[in-house]
């Protein structure tokens, strides 16, 4: 039925490709005249285009000429001429789409077209890659092309100093990793003067390996954090308490849903071990949280699969690439729980200063585009969350790779035997083999078997990107055997060595199916680049995680009925199809999880935008006098509602409370006399309070001078906003952690989170206004003007491995007996710290 509709209406991808081919014809028609231009005339095209844009011409109208210019410059500078299909890819990127292009189709060159065209606006283009190595390589390689056309090129790296970073962002084109761009955005919203900001407006970005960043990394928040004050003792105690709990008897492990649930016996054993009556009593909230994470660490987190222990530290293993993720920590105390389980030093939890997910960071760009070898299977997600359509760009040459059906064995042992035999057969005839594994343990197992067989091979150690690229690059040489995790070496082509095409090209072996078809397709795509021959096959067993958890029952039944032995495989397209159906189920579930995450994060994102927008206005030097006066008026309105409500008779007003609170914030002592206030109407009373507050503020301005007052307003507003926002992040984390329990009361957790999150945000805004007003009326000018605390001084950057409570950080702590940094002259404990 759907096939008929598709044939009747036509395929949208095909119609888009046809439309773009028409534009490519216009570009091709310009090629002869471009070849006639001197280098100087070609260079001059850039200023000509910029003038036309300044005079109102659109980027779309100059696209054919601009693309033809880049093609000619590339031919002269790099010795590479863009193919027609690469032009189509460039059009996709310019139009804010994802270009799906097979491995080896030259995505790096494709990007130059859209980057050049959009850089002509002068608003900046960000070229985003997955690691520093690729960012540096591409900025140097393609930078030659851009500079030959008069554009400036910058590179952002993690160890760069401030002047270099600022310079890089002011270039026409800026290369860097997704992490660096995201962290710089957060840092810009923590600085204490506008001169410290580095990023311009987020104009246009092209994301290389877009699926890796926007899908695989979607749930990982970027976090700037500082050391917290909580003790780590409870994690060590809880690790001992759960050590002897048994699966089935004390808890239920659901591998499919990735959850662990304790039963009554587990709770009773822990309560006995800790000598407490009720683990879930409100007084034991911290203890019950530690118990949850200790149980997760014990039951779900596996050493050498999810993490490794290196030099006395827990290092996370990336589930997609197998890379060791140095510097990253699990959030919500899970990392501490694993440290306690493994007996290494437990590091303190930290406090979040600023956080954002990649989902919300990249949605802030005016225009976004991406490229990858595998995106079509996730098109629904790209469209719904990022409004990014996926266009499958045709290959320059027909694909010759043979994708064999999967073969399935009863046991892992039989599967491994078949994998080794296949490698031996290929190796004997000189055919290179790339073995894709899903974990470090599996890589080491294959390596050990090959060593026993005396077969030379390389195991990809993805610790260093340069080394990774070199190993992957040589994987196409005659007789080479390379073992790598499924996605390792992305962005590096495997070129076939001499005589390899004659023996069948690169043979890719998958030792297990990933949860996502996209990851499997990436592994397959390593073979058969640019029309080269190649082959791929997945070897599976009924004991593999995907088969065990998602639908191996039917296949197991068939094997039983046929009386097949351990070494007899099943090989049929129907089997491959049924596995792909299982993968689709998992992909749908994972999409739901990511969608769920963004629904929650959108609540925080709206609040973040409000705070960061206000903070930017403060930094950029808006006149804050009117803001302060408006804040004080709102405080007075709130006081009137509480102490002299319009529904009350004047004799029912609580004027003593009103006077006390007014003197606490904005009224000099003795200016408000109860007897005089009693004789006023409600409107007269409000106007009197307004006047007292404004006159007092204006008197302070006369005393200190306008310039000093403007500085004080900026300093105090930044200090209060930053402190209150930091507290609010913690409060929202705590709300998020417990909100799922509302479902037991037949209430929608997301709706409850939105309502309570809004109320908490509003309360924070009220507190911000009151604190700013109090400080502005109390502050005394000392000889050396106090500056807002530079929270970036000792802050660290992190990637939380879940959306909630994450690795966090704070700068210098203020002692309770130190002078308050607001400049009041009081001790911190008697001033801004009295409620802490």
In a domain, 567, yes or no: yes
HSE, CB side, 13 Å, CA atoms: give it for residue 349: 23
Do 57 and 192 belong to one domain?
yes
Do 370 and 412 belong to one domain?
no
Q: Using alpha carbons, list the distances in angstroms from residue 268 to 234, 262, 274, 341.
A: 18, 10, 10, 20
Give the chain's domain count. 4
Q: What is the pLDDT of residue 562?
A: 59
Do 180 and 83 belong to one domain?
yes
Cα–Cα distance for residue pair 154/811, rounded to 1 Å? 30
Do 288 and 431 belong to one domain?
no
Q: What is the pLDDT of residue 94?
A: 98
Mean pLDDT by 10 residues, the chain (836 residues): 45 91 97 95 96 96 98 96 97 97 89 98 96 90 96 93 95 96 94 91 96 85 75 88 92 82 90 88 78 92 89 83 76 89 87 87 96 89 93 90 90 93 95 89 89 90 57 87 72 82 94 85 85 92 78 62 66 74 83 85 92 90 85 93 92 93 91 92 94 94 90 90 90 80 78 92 93 87 53 62 36 44 46 52
In a domain, 543, yes or no: yes
Do 524 and 427 belong to one domain?
yes
Cα–Cα distance for residue pair 239/290, rounded to 1 Å? 9
In a domain, 330, yes or no: yes
Contact (Cβ atoms closer than 8 angstroms) between residue 128 and residue 178: yes
Do 487 and 560 belong to one domain?
yes
Q: What is the pLDDT of residue 465?
A: 47
Whether 621 has a binding-site annotation, put simply, is no
Cβ count near 436 (within 10 Å): 29
Domain with residue 277: its CATH number is 3.90.1440.10
Domain with residue 769: its CATH number is 1.10.3060.10
Whether 349 has a binding-site annotation, put simply, is no
Q: What is the pLDDT of residue 803?
A: 34
HSE, CB side, 13 Å, CA atoms: give it for residue 289: 17
Cα–Cα distance for residue pair 491/108, rounded to 1 Å? 9
Cα–Cα distance for residue pair 103/491, rounded to 1 Å? 8
Do 427 and 475 belong to one domain?
yes
Whether 86 has a binding-site annotation, put simply, is yes
**Which residue range(s) make up the domain with 331?**
231-347
Cα–Cα distance for residue pair 273/260, rounded to 1 Å? 20
Final residue in a domain of this structure, among 315, 347, 379 = 347
Q: Over the range 152-184, which residues count as b (16 or more CB within 10 Å of their CB) and which as e?
A: ebbbbbeebeeeebbebbebbbbbbbbbbbbbb
Strand bridging mode 307-310 / 259-262: unpaired
Cα–Cα distance for residue pair 384/671, rounded to 1 Å? 60
Do 123 and 189 belong to one domain?
yes
Pair of tokens at residue 396: 């320059």
Q: What is the pLDDT of residue 801?
A: 52
In a domain, 835, yes or no: no
Whether 553 has a binding-site annotation, put simply, is no
Do 626 and 718 belong to one domain?
yes
In a domain, 772, yes or no: yes
**Three-class DSSP category at 813:** coil
Q: What is the pLDDT of residue 27?
A: 97
Q: What is the pLDDT of residue 737?
A: 74
Whether 491 has a binding-site annotation, put simply, is no
In a domain, 290, yes or no: yes
Helix ranges, 30-128 (H)? 31-36, 39-54, 59-77, 84-94, 107-119
In a domain, 140, yes or no: yes
Q: Which residues contact 646 (CB under 8 A, 6 or more apart)?
A: 682
Q: What is the pLDDT of residue 808?
A: 32
In a domain, 591, yes or no: no
Do 295 and 415 belong to one domain?
no
Domain with residue 420: its CATH number is 3.40.50.300
Do 304 and 255 belong to one domain?
yes
Contact (Cβ atoms closer than 8 angstroms) between residue 46 and residue 149: yes
Name all contacts of 827-831 with Cβ < 8 Å and 24+ positions apart. Answer: none
Whether 456 has a binding-site annotation, put simply, is no
Whether 493 has a binding-site annotation, put simply, is yes
Do 447 and 383 belong to one domain?
no
Q: Residue 373 burial by CB count (10 A; 0-12/13-18/19+): exposed, middle or buried? A: buried
Residue 58 phi, psi dihedral angles, 5° rounding:
-85, 160
């Amino acid at each position: 039925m759907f096939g008929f509709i598709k044939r009747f209406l036509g395929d949208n991808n095909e119609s888009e490709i046809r439309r773009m081919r028409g534009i490519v014809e216009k570009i091709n028609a310009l090629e002869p005249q471009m070849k006639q231009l001197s280098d100087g005339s070609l260079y001059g095209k850039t200023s000509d285009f910029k003038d036309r844009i300044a005079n109102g011409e659109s980027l779309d109208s100059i696209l054919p000429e601009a693309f033809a210019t880049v093609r000619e410059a590339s031919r002269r500078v790099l010795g590479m001429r863009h193919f027609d299909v690469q032009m189509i890819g460039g059009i996709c990127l310019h139009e804010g789409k994802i270009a799906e292009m097979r491995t080896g189709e030259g995505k790096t060159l494709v990007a130059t077209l859209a980057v050049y065209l959009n850089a002509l606006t002068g608003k900046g283009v960000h070229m985003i890659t997955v690691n520093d190595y690729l960012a540096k390589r591409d900025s140097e390689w393609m930078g030659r092309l851009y500079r030959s056309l008069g554009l400036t090129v910058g590179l952002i790296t993690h160890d760069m100093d401030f002047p270099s970073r600022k310079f890089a962002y002011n270039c026409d084109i800026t290369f860097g990793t997704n992490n660096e761009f995201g962290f710089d955005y957060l840092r810009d919203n923590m600085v204490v003067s506008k001169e410290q900001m580095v990023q311009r407006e987020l104009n246009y970005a092209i994301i290389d390996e877009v699926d890796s960043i926007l899908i695989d990394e979607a749930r990982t928040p970027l976090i700037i954090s500082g050391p917290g004050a909580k003790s780590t003792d409870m994690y060590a105690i809880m690790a001992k308490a759960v050590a002897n709990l048994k699966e089935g008897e004390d808890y239920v492990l659901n591998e499919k849903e990735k959850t662990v649930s304790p039963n009554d016996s587990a709770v009773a054993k822990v309560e006995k071990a800790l000598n407490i009556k009720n683990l879930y009593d409100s007084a034991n909230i911290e203890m019950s949280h530690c118990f949850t994470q200790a149980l997760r660490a014990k039951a779900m987190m596996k050493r050498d699969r999810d993490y490794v222990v290196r030099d006395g530290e827990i290092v996370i293993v990336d589930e997609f690439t197998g890379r060791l993720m140095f510097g990253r920590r699990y959030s919500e105390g899970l990392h501490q729980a694993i440290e306690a389980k493994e007996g290494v030093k437990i590091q303190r939890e930290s406090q979040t200063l600023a956080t954002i997910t990649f989902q919300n960071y990249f949605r802030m760009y005016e225009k976004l585009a991406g490229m990858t070898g595998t995106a079509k299977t996730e098109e629904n997600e790209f469209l719904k969350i990022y409004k990014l359509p996926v266009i499958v760009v045709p290959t320059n040459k027909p694909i010759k790779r043979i994708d064999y059906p999967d073969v399935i064995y009863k046991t892992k042992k039989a599967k491994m035997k078949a994998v080794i035999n296949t490698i031996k057969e290929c190796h004997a005839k000189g055919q290179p083999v790339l073995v894709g594994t899903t974990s470090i343990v599996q890589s080491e197992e294959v390596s050990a078997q090959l060593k026993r067989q005396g077969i030379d091979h390389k195991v990809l150690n993805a610790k260093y990107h340069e080394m990774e690229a070199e190993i992957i690059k040589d994987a196409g040489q005659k007789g080479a055997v390379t073992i790598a995790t499924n996605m390792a070496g992305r962005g590096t082509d495997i070129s076939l060595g001499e005589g390899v095409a004659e023996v069948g090209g690169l043979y890719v072996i998958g030792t297990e199916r990933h949860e996502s078809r996209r990851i499997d397709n990436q592994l397959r795509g390593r073979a058969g680049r640019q029309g080269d021959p190649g082959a791929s096959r997945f070897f599976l067993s009924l004991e593999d995680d995907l088969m065990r958890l998602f639908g191996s029952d039917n296949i197991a039944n068939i094997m039983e009925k046929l009386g097949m032995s351990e070494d007899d495989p099943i090989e049929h397209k129907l089997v491959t199809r049924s596995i792909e159906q299982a993968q689709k189920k998992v992909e749908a579930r994972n999409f739901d999880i990511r969608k769920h995450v963004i629904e929650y994060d959108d609540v925080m994102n709206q609040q973040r935008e409000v705070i960061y927008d206000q903070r930017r206005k403060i930094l950029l030097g808006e006149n804050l006098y009117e803001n302060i006066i408006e804040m004080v008026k709102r405080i007075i309105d709130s006081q009137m509602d509480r102490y002299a409500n319009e529904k009350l008779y004047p004799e029912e007003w609580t004027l003593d409370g009103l006077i006390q609170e007014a003197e606490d914030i904005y009224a000099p002592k003795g200016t408000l006399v109860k007897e005089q206030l009693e004789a006023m109407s409600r409107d007269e009373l409000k106007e009197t309070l307004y006047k007292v507050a404004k006159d007092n503020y204006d008197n302070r301005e006369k005393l200190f001078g306008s310039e000093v007052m403007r500085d004080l307003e900026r300093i105090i507003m930044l200090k209060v906003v930053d402190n209150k926002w930091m507290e609010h992040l913690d409060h929202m984390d705590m709300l998020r952690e417990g909100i799922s329990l509302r479902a037991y009361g037949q209430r929608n957790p997301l709706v409850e989170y939105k309502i309570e999150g809004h109320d908490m945000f509003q309360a924070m805004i009220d507190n911000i206004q009151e604190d700013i007003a109090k400080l502005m009326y109390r502050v005394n000018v000392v000889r050396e003007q106090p500056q807002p605390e530079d929270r970036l001084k000792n802050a660290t950057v992190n990637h939380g491995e879940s959306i909630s409570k994450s690795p966090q950080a704070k700068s210098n702590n203020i002692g309770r007996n130190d002078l308050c940094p607001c400049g009041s002259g009081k001790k911190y404990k008697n001033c801004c710290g009295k409620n802490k």
